[in-house]
Structure 1
Amino acid sequence: MDARNKDRPARPRRLRHASLAAALLLALVGVPWSQAHDWSSPVPREQRVAQAAQEQPSHWTLAWGGPQDGRPAAPSAQHCDRPPQTLELRHPDDALAAQRERRDERPASSRDAFGRLAEADAVSSAKSMADAPSDVAAAPATRHGSPPSQPQPQSQPASRPRDEAVSAGVVDDNADFGSYLAYRARNTHLPVRARDVQERYGLTVHDASGRPVPDAQVSVHAGGQALALWARTDSGGKAWLHPRVLRADLPDVLEVQASSGAASGRALLRRGQRDALQITLNAVAPRERTRLDLVFLVDATGSMADEIDKLKRSMRAMAEQIARLPSRPDLCFALVAYRDRGDAFFVRAHDFSNDLGAFQRQLGALQAAGGGDYPEALNEALHTAVHRLSWRGEGATRLVVLLADAPPHLDYGAPWYDDDMQGALARGIKLFAVGASGLDATGEYVFRQAAQYTGGRFVFLTYARAGDPSSGPGRETAHEVGGYSVESLDKLLVRLVREELAQRSG
């Protein structure tokens, strides 16, 4: 943590032991940046190359938005074989951020701009750790910049072996949808942006040969007009549709259209039907080598230091395991790290690349610091991951692994995570949300909400005694889940990727 973080409400000590979790998570990454674009439109390739050559982080301004009809642009990048590039998002009106930026200035002769900024954070973090008391009590979350009142000492939990395995559980809220709806009904009091997903329909798209069609474009129509409800099918040609996220007063019969290349098809959806919807395209869809675009979306605030440290030591092994999967996927990795207002950076993104070594150098420079209050800039980071990275088109499998221990700020205004989970489905992006220890009930709701809507999974750390990381790995959790399986986090994540890609074989 940095100097500001001394006054940050201490999160429960179990946060620090979530470490292995994050580490194992981000292990798969290898990422330089493909598109040096602003918020509104792509930048020509010549300009991207020139910007990448400067090896200086670009800075975004807050200008959220997209096409007027709300439909996200289709993923269209052709490859990820490109030089590393880093982009940052900051609030231009944030005086604290400006002060930090001036303080962290380094000689222009240094070539590794990302490393310079991270080095400054590390020095600041080390100084604040030396000055801060060794033990502080957990305090309630406060508004950003408001110090907690008189923290009291508490005993340090027993340390665990540095390389001890981290156990984690996973639930699929779409597979046990009734239990998920019951969970939501018990938590209507939480301060979240709830969307009505009770009316849910499964859709499968096949081509003329009967094979499932990955990444088929799906649109829903009423009275001949397209609704703001779009999706792309996953590796198994499937998608979930939730009409009531738009409004309740839709017609009883909707038309669903699907297409892939020149092939297309349609079917009628009778609201209330129990059977899954099937669409068969009028031609055979082309088959290409499996391509996987994988993003790690990471909370880089002070309480995540252990997770990031463990991640740095484990990612190559995980990346190699994924590369050796039976489908031998063509891999692209990206990293989006985020903190909060007033920190050295708000959102820092490294776009897709197949250069794992370059990503490792970037990740190695990343330090956990800052924060200030419990919620973080997850809204803005998710928007960046969904809309501002160079996702490949034409049948790619697209996954985001979120690793965090706090919910998003809901007092900053747009962008909103619920809009971007809809944008993720429209762009064919599944979210696997991993809750580090200390994730509260609001964070659990948000993580499960986004994972369920996009067809992903909710992953969480488990211990010998629920909520007590010092008890070591085990099967217990403080989250509202049941019927979950448990295994080491690295194996779990590789398994989830393997299962996702295996669907492509039909």
Structure 2
Amino acid sequence: MAGLLATAAAWAAPPAGSAAASDALPSTVPSPASAPAWLRERQTRPNFRAPAATTCADAPVLVEVPDPSGQQRPPRRPLGPPHPVSVFDDARRDAVPAPAPPAPPMPLSPAPRLPGSVGEGGSRHPGERPADVVTPAAVNAGMVDDNADFSAYQAFLQRHAASPVPAWPVAGRQRLQVVDAQGRPVNDAEVTLRAANGARLWARTDAGGQVWIHPGSFDPDDSPGYQVEVRRDGQRARGRLLRGQKPVLQLRLPVQPQPARLDLVFLVDATGSMADEIDKLRASLQDIVRQIDALPSRPQVCLGLVSYRDRGDEYFIRRWDLSHSVAGFQQVLDGVQAGGGGDTPEAMNEALHEAVQHLSWRGSGTTRLLISLADAPPHLDYGRPWHSDSLRAALGKGIKVFSVAASGQDSQGELVQRQLAQHTGGRFIFLTYQDPANPAAGPGSDTVHEVANYSVDQLDALVVRLVREELAQLPAVPAH
């Protein structure tokens, strides 16, 4: 499938009465009348392209994505002359080269807080400190793995069954693993599942050679089994996955380990109440990358960023494609300022779509991680793209999501973030405070989220730990 178009199997359910309900695609395979209409749908065209970039840019390049509704204010600062974006076919995007990286390396000390670095939005959520409060010395965070404690996750979903967030079927979850001739994990193997009724699912294995399969997310007919094909480096293997089987389905591919490559993308809510988290990310990025670079696998690291606000703000979405320039990326982060907002939901769905669909993720053998930092849920009243559309595309492109819930994130936002992490094999991360009802009290170990049995660390240390654990699963490349 490398270089070919691939597609997720089904769209997510639009909220009842939304304008996007008319976007439903026609069904091509009869399904039981009891199956939800959205699950009976079949896509008639691909909705994502397999990752195929061979390298990353020398410097970050800004692409401004306007709000299609037209409710956007002109930028306060000129962004420079527009340049055509040749790698994308969307005429409404303009690319602007980021400033050239400075000659000396960027210092590792926290960047000074610029006048007006917090914009017009301020704090939105009850109990949250104003956005212009000086950044705390540390940002603490806890983490849960909803796939490791799946029963607790199912109980969480059941408690929120009445949420307006579209339900994501997880019943019948199964694990598939791909290994080489020596039994070592094969990362980034392309996986295709096919049912007799025509339902299909596309996925890619993670650094541990595995992928979680949720049959109910793409097959409305409860098919008894699926034909499975896995491919990488011109090799392929086939097997059959029986619905409900307990043993892990393991397939073998006679491929050789490849040098570690890591695409690490940050998806950041840049509205007013996110000032502290953005400042911490800005201050610690170089240290994070330096520690990742020193890992035993010595990965070739490329960095990308997507920041977003909401309709009517100074900007809607800005993205910087993957680049191997740490200094240039640090300079981009130095220019990301928190501002805007207003109502609680933000343009998270649209920004996630940009990150998954329009960044130049590298191809075969790459470990792809997306760290999403947000303190508000997505708008459900804007129509497509839905987060579940992007979730399916992320699974097919082999993008693992680590969702970070910042202060003020409500239960609806937690549900979205945990869906993204669980389905792609990632983790749900949440900031912790001395008093979760009053984050101004400073970092601590408590949270308002529905989690248990977690440890606490500083956010940057936790990010490095997760990347280290992911890359540690890769088999060593034989010395020549």
- If the length of structure 2 is used for normalisation, what is the TM-score? 0.79
AA in 1 matched with 2:362: R
2:246 to 248, 253, 274: 274
CA shift for structure 1 position 137? 9.0
CA shift for structure 1 position 261? 1.6
1:173-230 Cα distance to aligned partner (Å, 9 max, x none): 000101100110011122201111111010100123322110000000122x763311
Quick check: 2:118–2:339 contact (8 Å CA) kept in 1? no
Identify if the C-alpha distance between structure 1 residues 126 and 402 changes in structure 2 by more than 3 Å, giving closer, same or farther. closer
Identify if the C-alpha distance between structure 1 residues 166 and 160 changes in structure 2 by more than 3 Å, giving closer, same or farther. farther
Task: Look up the match of 1:186.
Answer: 159
1:75-100 Cα distance to aligned partner (Å, 9 max, x none): 11111143431111112441x41x42
2:428 to 448, 458, 462: 458
Task: Look up the match of 2:314.
Answer: 344
Answering whether residue 232 of structure 2 is matched by residue 256 of structure 1, we say no
CA shift for structure 1 position 162? 4.8
1:201 to 166, 170, 174: 174
Q: Distance in 2 between matches of 1:290 and 1:81?
A: 18
Identify if the C-alpha distance between structure 1 residues 247 and 360 changes in structure 2 by more than 3 Å, giving closer, same or farther. same
CA shift for structure 1 position 386? 0.7
Answering whether residue 277 of structure 2 is matched by residue 304 of structure 1, we say no
Identify if the C-alpha distance between structure 1 residues 221 and 469 changes in structure 2 by more than 3 Å, giving closer, same or farther. same
AA in 2 matched with 1:204: Q
1:70 to 46, 49, 55: 46
Q: Distance in 1 between matches of 2:426 and 2:53?
A: 23
Quick check: 1:202–1:240 contact (8 Å CA) kept in 2? yes
AA in 2 matched with 1:197: V
Quick check: 2:433–2:444 contact (8 Å CA) kept in 1? yes
Identify if the C-alpha distance between structure 1 residues 76 and 377 changes in structure 2 by more than 3 Å, giving closer, same or farther. same
Answering whether residue 74 of structure 2 is matched by residue 100 of structure 1, we say yes
Q: Distance in 1 between matches of 2:470 and 2:149?
A: 18
Quick check: 1:71–1:230 contact (8 Å CA) kept in 2? no
Quick check: 2:353–2:387 contact (8 Å CA) kept in 1? yes
CA shift for structure 1 position 456? 0.1
Task: Look up the match of 2:58.
Answer: 82
Q: Distance in 1 between matches of 2:320 and 2:286?
A: 17
Task: Look up the match of 1:333.
Answer: 303
CA shift for structure 1 position 278? 1.0
Could you tell me the percent identity over the aligned residues?
48
AA in 2 matched with 1:82: D
Q: Distance in 2 between matches of 1:430 and 1:396?
A: 11
SS at match of 2:474: helix
Q: Distance in 1 between matches of 2:376 and 2:136?
A: 25
Q: Of Structure 1 and Structure 2, which has the larger fraction of its residues in helix?
A: 1
Q: Distance in 1 between matches of 2:79 and 2:62?
A: 17
Quick check: 2:125–2:408 contact (8 Å CA) kept in 1? no
Q: Distance in 2 between matches of 1:499 and 1:100?
A: 43
AA in 1 matched with 2:329: F
Task: Look up the match of 1:60.
Answer: none
SS at match of 2:48: coil
Q: Distance in 2 between matches of 1:493 and 1:308?
A: 14
CA shift for structure 1 position 160? 9.2
Identify if the C-alpha distance between structure 1 residues 439 and 93 changes in structure 2 by more than 3 Å, giving closer, same or farther. closer
Answering whether residue 407 of structure 2 is matched by residue 431 of structure 1, we say no
AA in 2 matched with 1:73: R
Deviates more, 1:83-92 or 1:474-483: 83-92
AA in 1 matched with 2:317: V
Task: Look up the match of 1:485.
Answer: 455
Quick check: 2:135–2:276 contact (8 Å CA) kept in 1? no
Number of equivalences: 409
Q: Distance in 1 between matches of 2:195 and 2:50?
A: 22
Task: Look up the match of 1:222.
Answer: 195
Quick check: 1:71–1:228 contact (8 Å CA) kept in 2? no
Q: Distance in 2 between matches of 1:418 and 1:216?
A: 22
Task: Look up the match of 2:283.
Answer: 313
Quick check: 2:267–2:352 contact (8 Å CA) kept in 1? yes
CA shift for structure 1 position 464? 2.7
Quick check: 1:69–1:228 contact (8 Å CA) kept in 2? no
Q: Distance in 2 between matches of 1:358 and 1:207?
A: 38
Deviates more, 1:310-319 or 1:383-392: 310-319
Q: Distance in 2 between matches of 1:232 and 1:264?
A: 13
1:291-323 Cα distance to aligned partner (Å, 9 max, x none): 000000000111112222222221111111111
AA in 2 matched with 1:235: A
Answering whether residue 137 of structure 2 is matched by residue 164 of structure 1, we say yes
Task: Look up the match of 2:475.
Answer: 505
Task: Look up the match of 1:61.
Answer: none
CA shift for structure 1 position 328? 0.7
CA shift for structure 1 position 275? 1.3
Quick check: 1:70–1:228 contact (8 Å CA) kept in 2? no
CA shift for structure 1 position 286? 2.4
Q: Distance in 2 between matches of 1:403 and 1:137?
A: 16
Quick check: 2:174–2:214 contact (8 Å CA) kept in 1? yes
- If the length of structure 1 is used for normalisation, what is the TM-score? 0.75
AA in 2 matched with 1:250: D
Q: Distance in 1 between matches of 2:129 and 2:67?
A: 37
AA in 1 matched with 2:177: T
1:459-480 Cα distance to aligned partner (Å, 9 max, x none): 0011233433234333221100
Higher relative contact order (CA 8 A, sep 6+): 1
Quick check: 2:281–2:460 contact (8 Å CA) kept in 1? no
SS at match of 2:332: helix
1:431-456 Cα distance to aligned partner (Å, 9 max, x none): 00000011000010100011000000
Structure 2: runs of 5+ lacking an equivalent: 1-24, 26-42, 83-94, 100-113
